[in-house]
Amino acid sequence: MATEPTAEPTAGSAAGSTAGSGAHPAPVLRQHAEDAFAAELAALAAQDDRPRPERWRLSPWAVATYLTGGELPDGTVVTPKYIGPRRIVEVAVTTLATDRALLLLGVPGTAKTWVSEHLAAAISGDSTLLVQGTAGTPEEAVRYGWNYAQLLAHGPSHDALVPSPVMRAMADGRIARVEELTRIPADVQDSLITILSEKTLPVPELGSEIQAVRGFNLIATANDRDRGVNELSSALRRRFNTVVLPLPATLEEEVEIVTRRVGQLGRSLDLPELPGGAEQIRRVVTVFRELRAGLTADGRTKVKTPGGTLSTAEAISVVTNGLALATHFGDGVLRAGDVTDGILGAVVRDPVADRQVWREYLEGVVREREGWKDFYRAAREVGA
């Protein structure tokens, strides 16, 4: 008998697909956090003897450890998912155990989505109850919709109702996620107010309501740059505890984040680890940090800041692309030339102004920098 793969914790963090129940399920491109880290979650649950809030898979302490990493009594190593102050994670987790929802706020690429997925995976074992916020998000995506064939044939009934992810989370006592909350039109945002304050979702068509089961809560993310698009009403904001995710404080921290994520992404894309990786990562992160700050790392030279966001997330994709280039077209070493195209693409958003900024940085800072000759040459070649 074939065992049901979804029921089993997978053996390692890079284990195969758990989707589908066929004999040879096709490997998925990206696993949900609860599948990718099933072994860690199972080990944490087995060794967690602290009190758990109703319907939580883990205690708040174990959830925080899952996010920030650590070693368990039996020697299991829990890899850090979020690299940054543990206190931030503790506040976020604690919020979810109260009657307030959690709002993760920050500039692009500060791991808001990533943290929200891992929190939901650790607390509810399910990170998929997700509403993607856009300017076109309808009320049905937050409340419920109808199956029109059923509705026309039999009239309004529970069977004809199509619950939103939020409604399902309420009924099951799980964590729901709302991405990019501030992009959602104000009237749709408002439908969250009753849900979060009364913990109930009325269904007037059926003369009934869905009452949230204990364990239900909601994590929303919002981007700093969207401020003013659809500002949260103060009534809604009061229902949230806001946790701001900062940019990585130091070069070392950001290098660690990029190294770790490039390693994971590389493995999932079957890219080998290449020599030269550590050096190029350090350079990409240095360039991004200096341009972001408008100042060189030694604090001596001011530089202009380009229009692009230059987030950690972009540094990760520049290096991952470089790795792919070097693997398929290179000589087995990750070289400066493999990342300079990507850097140029990230820095130069405005073809005129940003190109000027980049050229000044290249000539004024990179050219004279010790040990960066190859980088300077490669960057000149891609058309600075």
Ligand X SMILES: Nc1ncnc2c1ncn2[C@@H]1O[C@H](COP(=O)(O)OP(=O)(O)OP(=O)(O)O)[C@@H](O)[C@H]1O
Tell me which residues touch Mg ion (CB under 5 A). 112-113
Rg over CA atoms, the chain: 23
| Cβ proximity of 366 and 372 under 8 Å | yes
Which of residues 32, 174, 183, 261 is near ligand X by CB under 6 A? 261
Residue 171: other Cβ atoms inside 10 A: 15
Should residue 127 be labelled a site residue for ligand X when binding is judged by CB under 6 A?
no
Residue 264 CB, nearest distance to ligand X (Å)?
8
> Could you give the angle at which helices 251-268 and 277-293 cross, rounded to 10 degrees?
130
Which residue in the set 89, 101, 313, 326 belongs to the binding site for ligand X (CB under 6 A)? 313
Task: Assess 108 for contact with ligand X (CB under 6 A).
Answer: yes
Exposure pattern of 138-147 as b/e (b: 16+ CB <10 Å)?
A: ebebbbbbee
223 binds ligand X, rule: CB under 6 A: yes
106 contacts ligand X (rule: CB under 6 A): yes
Find, among 65, 70, 258, 103, the residue nearest to 179 by Cα. Answer: 103
Binds ligand X (CB under 6 A): choice among 44, 64, 123, 257 = 257
Q: Which of 316, 318, 339, 366 binds ligand X (CB under 6 A)?
A: 316
Query: If we measure between CA atoms, which residue out of 98, 97, 129, 134 comes closest to residue 116?
Result: 129
Distance of CA 326 to the CA centre of its chain: 27
Distance of CA 45 to the CA centre of its chain: 23
Instruction: Examine residue 195 and tell whether it contacts ligand X (CB under 6 A).
Output: no
Report the partner that residue 109 touches, choosing among Mg ion, ligand X, none (CB closer than 5 to 8 A by kind). ligand X
Chosen residue from 18, 59, 95, 110 binding ligand X by CB under 6 A = 110
**Least distance CB 377 / ligand X (angstroms):** 30
Element (H, E) at 105: strand 101-106
Contact of residue 133 among ligand X, Mg ion, none (CB under 5-8 Å per partner type): none
In angstroms, give the least distance from the CB of 207 to ligand X.
39
Q: Please give the residue ranges that form the binding site for ligand X (CB under 6 A).
A: 82-84, 106, 108-114, 221, 223, 248, 257, 261, 312-313, 316
